[in-house]
Structure 1
Amino acid sequence: MMRTYLQMDSLGNRIVNLLNACTSSTQLHQIQAQILVNNLHPNTKIHSHFIHASESLGLLNSALLFFNQLQKPHVFICNSLIRAFSHSCSPQTSVSVYTRMLNASVSPNHFTFPFLLKSLSDLRYLDQGRSIHSQILKLGHLNDIYVQNSLLNVYASCGDMCTCQQVFYEMPQRDAVSWTVLIDGNRNSGELDEALITFERMLYSGVSPNRVTMVNALSACACSGALEMGVWIHDFITKNSWELDVILGTSLVDMYTKCGRIDVGLSVFQNMHQKNVFTWNALIKGLALAKSGKEALLWFFRMETEGIKPDEVSLLGVLCACSHSGLVEVGKQIFNSMVDGRYGFSPGPKHYSCMIDMLGRAGYLQEAFEFMGKMPFEPNKVMCGAFLAGCRAHGNLELSEIAGKKLVEVEPENGAYYVLLSNLYAEMERWDDVERVRLLMKERGLRKDLGCSSIELKEPTNHVYELLAV
C-alpha cells in the first residue's frame, strides 16, 4: 500500500510538471485523459494546476468540464475557477461556478468573494450583487477589506452610489482602493464635484493616493474644468518623484487640453518617454476642441510617421479638428481613406456625424443633405441636429424644415423638436403648419421642457434663486 501511495504521488508530480510545461490544446487534453484514467482529478494540487494551464491556453471551458465531474470540489478549486473566469471574456461563468459550489454544500470563504464580485461589477449585475452582499453578511466575511472594496465596486459600477456610500461609511477602515472606487463611481455617475470633494476628503483623512486614484481624479478635473485641482495633482506627482508612465501622463495631457491649457498639455506630451494611441488621441482631441485644426492635423500625420496606428477615436478627433477649422477638403480626404480601408476599419455613425457637421458649418448644405442620403444607415438625432445647425447658421429654411421633420421622426417623444419645427414654420409665416404641429404635440401629450437657470444674490442672504423660462 505504501508503494502505491508513493507511485501515485510520483505520477501526480509528473502530471503537475507536464501541466506547467503544456503549450497546446492537444497536450492539455492528453494530460486530462491521464488524470481521469488515474482518478487524480479530485487532487486539489493537480486540479489547480490544470485550471492555470487551461487559463494560459484560453481553454477555460475544459477546466469547467473537469470541475463539473467533481461531486464535492474543494473550496480552493472553486475559488481558482471563479478567479480565472472573472478575468476572462465570460465573467458570468464565475456566477455559475459559485452556484454549483453552493449546491454542492461547499462553504465559500473570504477568498471567494472578491473575484465573484469583480465578475458582477463587470456584468453590472446589481440585484445579484445585493444578494451576494446578504450572503457575505450571513457568513461573517464583511470585515475583510478586500471583500468590502469589492462590494463598493459592484455598487459603483452599477450606478447605485447611495448604497456604495453607505457601505463606504460603515467600513471601519478604508484604504486607497476604497477611496478610489468612491471617486471613480461619482465620476462615472456624472457627480464630478462630489468626486473631487471625495478626493480632497481622502487627502485630509491621511490616506495616500495611488496612481489609479490620481488618474480618476484627473479625469474628473478634465470633465469639470477643475484646472486648479489638476495643477495641484501634477505638482504632487512631481514633488513625490513619481514616474510619469503612459497612463498617468495621458491623463495629464487630457486634463490640460480639456481645461484649455494646450501649451502645458503639449509640454507634458513631449516630455513623456512612452506614449500610446490614447496619448496621441488626447492631444489631437484637445487641439480639435481648442479649434487648432491645422496643428491637430500636423500631430495626426506625425503620429502616423512615428508608427502609431490611428484608431476610431484618432480619426474622430482629426475630423472634428477639420470641422471646427473649416478644413473641408482635408476632412473629405481623410474620411474617404477610412472608407477605402486604409486604417483597417470603416467609419461609424460618429464619423458620419462629424462629416455632416463639417459640411454644414462650411455652408455645403446640399452636399451634406446628399451625403446623409448615401449613408449605410438611417440618420440619427445627432446627425440631424448637426445638419439643422448648419442650415440655421446659413439661413436655409427649406433644408432646416427637412432636418426638423427628421428629428421629430427619429425621436417622436421629444417635445423640444416639435417646438423647434413650429418655430421654423413661424419664421416662414406658415401659420397653418404651426397650428398643425402644436395640435400634434397636444394629441401626443407632449410639452416643451422649461428652461432653467440660477443666480446667487449676495444681498441680503447669499440666497440662490432658480429662474424658469416659460
Structure 2
Amino acid sequence: MRPPPQLNAAAANRIIHLLATCNSPTHIRQIQAQLILHSLYADTTIAYHFIAACQSSGLLDHADLLYAPLRRPHVFICNALIKAFSHSQFPRKAISMHARMQSSCVVPNNYTFPFVLKAFSDLRDVKRGQSVHTQIVKMGHLNDIYVQNSLLNLYASSGDIGLCRKVFDEMPQRDVVSWTVVITGYREAGKFDDALVAFEQMQFSGIRPNQVTMVNALSACSASGALEMGVWIHDFIRKSEWELDVILGTSLIDMYGKCGRIEEGIAVFQIMKENNVFTWNAVIKGLALAKSGEEAVRWFSRMEQEGVKPDEVTLIGVLCACTHSGLVQIGRQIFSSLVDGKYGFHPGVKHYACMVDLLARLGCLQEAFKIIKEMPSEATKAVWGAFLAGCRAHGDLELSEVAAWKLIDLDPQNSGYYVMLSNLYAQMGRFGEVERVRSLMKKRGLKKDLGFSTVELQPQDHVHMSY
C-alpha cells in the first residue's frame, strides 16, 4: 500500500468541514468519490470523520467498502470501523473487521478490544468472545481497565455471572463501571440478593455510585422487596442533589410500588419534571399491587387525559387493578375498547388472562368461557389456570373439569393437574373417572407429589411428617 499523500492543513480542514456539514447520502457519496479520485481516504484524520459521517447517515456499508481494498489499513482506521459497527445494528461486521485485521497482520491495540467485546456482548456470543479474551491475555492488554470492564460486560450480558465475577475478583483496580456491570449482571441473572451485596461492597470500597448503578440497584430492591435499601438509595439521591430524570425517577416509583409503599412512589412522581409511559405504568402497577383498584383506574384516566398513550403493559396493570378490586364493569369497558383497537393494538394473551381472571373471580364463568373460546390464539396455562380457580371457587364442577383437562393437554407432565382432576371426579361421585385419571398418571409415569407438615414442639425443634 502506498503511503497516504501529505495534505496541507487548509485542504484537510475543507474536507473535514464538508464531512461535518453533509446532510444527505448524496453528499456522502460525492465526498467519497473525491476521496477515491485523489487517494485521500487512507489519511487517518479524514478516515475518522468520513466513518463518523457515514455512521450518522446510516451508510456504514460505504465506509466498509471504501476501506476493504486496503491491504494493510492503519489500526486507527480499523478501530474507527469496529467502533462504528459495534454501535450499529450490525455488530457482526465489527467482528468481521477484527478478523480482517488479523488476516492483514494489523496488530490490535487496547482501543480495539473494548468495541470487539461489545459486539460479542450484543450477540451474546460468549464462546467466541472467550477467544478474544485469550488474545488479550497473550498481547498483555489485560490490565487495561476499559478492556477489563468490557470483559465483565461480555460475561454478564451472556449470563455467565461466574466468569464475570472471576474476572472482577482478579482486577487490581475497579471503577464505578466495573461495580455497576457486576451489579447489573447479578440482577439480570435473577440473583437479586447478590446484586445488593455487591452494591454494599461497592460502598465499602469507597467507589461512589452513579445513576446507572442506582437504577440497577433499585431494580434489585424491587425484585427482592428490599425496601430499607431502596429508601437508603432515595436518600443518597436527595443528598447528592441528582435530578430525577425519567429513568431514575421511574425506578424509584417501581421500587416503592413493589415494596408496598406506593404513596412514596406517587410523591416521587409529583416532583419529576418529565415522565413517560413507563413512569405512569409504574404508578398504575404499584396501585394495582396495593389492591387500590379505584385509584389505579383514576390514574389511568388521568394518563389518557394528559395525552400519554397507554401501551400493552398499561392495560395489563389497569385490568389487574380491576381484578383486585372487583371492578368488573370498568374492566369490561376497558377490555372492549382494547378489542376495538382504541389503543392502537389488540389484546395479547396476558390481557385475556387478566380479563378471564376478573370474570371468573366474580362468578361470571360463562362470560369468561366465551372470551376464552373467542381468543385469536390458543389459550395458555395462565388463562385456563385463572378460569379453573374461579370455577372451583364458585363450585362449577363441570367447567372445572373442562379447564382441568385443558391444563393436562397443555402440560401433560404436571402431576398436580391430574390430582386436581381426580379430586374433582371424586367430589362429583364419578369414581370410575377417578380410576381412569389414576391409570393415565401411571401410564405416563407420574406420581403424586408427597406433601408434608411441620409441627413446632419446642423452640428450634421441628418434626417433619411426610404423607
Please report the TM-score for the alignment, with normalisation by the length of structure 2. Answer: 0.92
Counting only pairs closer than 5 Å after superposition, residues 15-34 of structure 1 correspond to structure 2 as: 15-34=15-34
Instruction: Supply the RMSD in Å over aligned alpha carbons.
Output: 2.5
2: CA distance, partners of 1:122 / 1:15: 34
Deviates more, 1:451-460 or 1:5-14: 451-460
2: CA distance, partners of 1:57 / 1:117: 24
Which position in structure 1 is the counterpart of 2:175? Answer: 175
Any unmatched runs of 5+ in structure 2?
Answer: none
Which position in structure 2 is the counterpart of 1:187? Answer: 187
Could you tell me how far 1:37 is from its partner in structure 2? 2.6
Deviation digits for residues 306-350 of structure 1 (CA, Å, limit 9, x no counterpart): 222212211111111112212222222222222333222222221
Which position in structure 1 is the counterpart of 2:290? Answer: 290
Deviation digits for residues 100-121 of structure 1 (CA, Å, limit 9, x no counterpart): 2222222211111212222222
Q: Which amino acid aligns with 2:112?
A: T
Could you tell me how far 1:176 is from its partner in structure 2? 1.5
2: CA distance, partners of 1:176 / 1:446: 51
Could you tell me how far 1:443 is from its partner in structure 2? 2.9
Residues 5 and 40, structure 2, Cα contact 8 Å, conserved in 1 = no
Alpha carbons of 1:433 and 1:187: their partners in 2 closer, same or farther (altered >3 Å)? Answer: same
1: CA distance, partners of 2:75 / 2:369: 63
2: CA distance, partners of 1:389 / 1:131: 52
Q: Could you say what secondary structure the match of 2:357 adopts? A: helix
Indicate yes or no: 2:255 matched with 1:255: yes
Could you tell me how far 1:158 is from its partner in structure 2? 1.5
Alpha carbons of 1:51 and 1:366: their partners in 2 closer, same or farther (altered >3 Å)? Answer: same
1: CA distance, partners of 2:82 / 2:408: 48
1: CA distance, partners of 2:161 / 2:6: 56
Indicate yes or no: 2:280 matched with 1:276: no
Could you tell me how far 1:29 is from its partner in structure 2? 1.8
Which position in structure 2 is the counterpart of 1:36? Answer: 36
Alpha carbons of 1:418 and 1:335: their partners in 2 closer, same or farther (altered >3 Å)? Answer: same
Residues 357 and 387, structure 1, Cα contact 8 Å, conserved in 2 = yes
Alpha carbons of 1:48 and 1:6: their partners in 2 closer, same or farther (altered >3 Å)? Answer: closer
Deviates more, 1:306-315 or 1:434-443: 434-443
Residues 81 and 94, structure 1, Cα contact 8 Å, conserved in 2 = yes
Alpha carbons of 1:331 and 1:18: their partners in 2 closer, same or farther (altered >3 Å)? Answer: same
Q: Which amino acid aligns with 2:208?
A: S
Alpha carbons of 1:424 and 1:142: their partners in 2 closer, same or farther (altered >3 Å)? Answer: farther
2: CA distance, partners of 1:285 / 1:469: 39
1: CA distance, partners of 2:147 / 2:217: 24
Any unmatched runs of 5+ in structure 1?
Answer: none
Alpha carbons of 1:330 and 1:444: their partners in 2 closer, same or farther (altered >3 Å)? Answer: same
Which position in structure 2 is the counterpart of 1:139? Answer: 139
Indicate yes or no: 2:154 matched with 1:154: yes
Alpha carbons of 1:432 and 1:135: their partners in 2 closer, same or farther (altered >3 Å)? Answer: farther
2: CA distance, partners of 1:324 / 1:224: 22
Residues 356 and 383, structure 2, Cα contact 8 Å, conserved in 1 = yes
Could you tell me how far 1:424 is from its partner in structure 2? 2.6
2: CA distance, partners of 1:172 / 1:192: 26
Q: Which amino acid aligns with 1:141?
A: H
Which position in structure 2 is the counterpart of 1:242? Answer: 242
Alpha carbons of 1:299 and 1:129: their partners in 2 closer, same or farther (altered >3 Å)? Answer: same
2: CA distance, partners of 1:377 / 1:227: 39
Which position in structure 2 is the counterpart of 1:358? Answer: 358
Aligned residue pairs: how many? 464
Counting only pairs closer than 5 Å after superposition, residues 379-394 of structure 1 correspond to structure 2 as: 379-394=379-394
Which position in structure 2 is the counterpart of 1:406? Answer: 406
Q: Could you say what secondary structure the match of 1:171 adopts? A: coil
2: CA distance, partners of 1:397 / 1:420: 11
Which position in structure 1 is the counterpart of 2:378? Answer: 378
**Percent pairwise identity:** 61
Could you tell me how far 1:453 is from its partner in structure 2? 9.1
Indicate yes or no: 2:210 matched with 1:210: yes
1: CA distance, partners of 2:80 / 2:465: 58
Residues 381 and 410, structure 2, Cα contact 8 Å, conserved in 1 = yes
Alpha carbons of 1:301 and 1:137: their partners in 2 closer, same or farther (altered >3 Å)? Answer: same
Alpha carbons of 1:394 and 1:28: their partners in 2 closer, same or farther (altered >3 Å)? Answer: same
Which position in structure 2 is the counterpart of 1:440? Answer: 440
Could you tell me how far 1:292 is from its partner in structure 2? 0.8
Alpha carbons of 1:454 and 1:170: their partners in 2 closer, same or farther (altered >3 Å)? Answer: farther
Q: Which amino acid aligns with 2:177?
A: V
